[in-house]
Amino acid sequence: MSVATKENAWDLVCEHVQDVGLRRHMLAVGTAMRWYADQLGEDADYWETVGIIHDFDWEIHPDLDRHPIKGADILRDRGWDEDTIRTILSHYTGGTGVEREKPIDFALLACDEITGLIIATALVRPSKNIGDVKLKSIRKKWKDRRFAAGVDRDHVEEVTADFSRVCYDNGLELWAHIGNVLTAMQGTADVLDLDGRLAVE
Q: What's the pLDDT tens digit per position in 102-124?
A: 999 999 999 999 999 999 999 99
Per-residue pLDDT reduced to its tens digit, 62-74 = 988 899 999 999 9
Cα distances (angstroms) measured from residue 16 to each of 57, 66, 86:
6, 15, 20
Contact partners, residue 194, CB within 8 Å, separation at least 6: 24, 119, 122, 123, 128, 129, 130, 185
Q: Are 181 and 114 in contact (CB under 8 A)?
A: yes
Whether residue 129 is contained in a domain is answered as yes
Whether residue 19 is contained in a domain is answered as yes
Give the mean pLDDT of 117-146. Answer: 97
161 has pLDDT over 60: yes
1 has pLDDT over 60: no
Beta bridge partners of 129: 195
For residue 64, the model assigns a pLDDT of 85
Contact partners, residue 195, CB within 8 Å, separation at least 6: 129, 130, 131, 189
Contact partners, residue 26, CB within 8 Å, separation at least 6: 13, 17, 51, 52, 53, 54, 55, 56
pTM attached to this predicted model:
0.96
Q: What would the DSSP string read from start to end of 140-153? A: HHHH-TTTTTTS-H
Whether residue 26 is contained in a domain is answered as yes
Residue-averaged pLDDT of the chain: 95
Find the domain containing 125 and state its range: 6-200
Cβ-based neighbour number of residue 200 at 10 Å: 6
Query: Any idea what DSSP says for residue 129?
Result: B
Buried b (16+ CB within 10 A) or exposed e, 11-44: ebbeebbeeeebbbbbbbbbbbbbbbbeeeebeb
CA pair distance 68, 193, nearest whole angstrom: 26
As for how many domains the chain has, the answer is 1
Nearest Cα residue to 31 out of 187, 155, 146, 140: 187
Per-residue pLDDT reduced to its tens digit, 143-156 = 999 999 999 999 99
Whether residue 1 is contained in a domain is answered as no
For residue 87, the model assigns a pLDDT of 97
Whether residue 24 is contained in a domain is answered as yes
CA pair distance 191, 24, nearest whole angstrom: 8
Whether residue 137 is contained in a domain is answered as yes
Which of helix, strand or coil describes residue 195? Answer: strand
Nearest Cα residue to 172 out of 157, 193, 154: 157
Whether residue 131 is contained in a domain is answered as yes
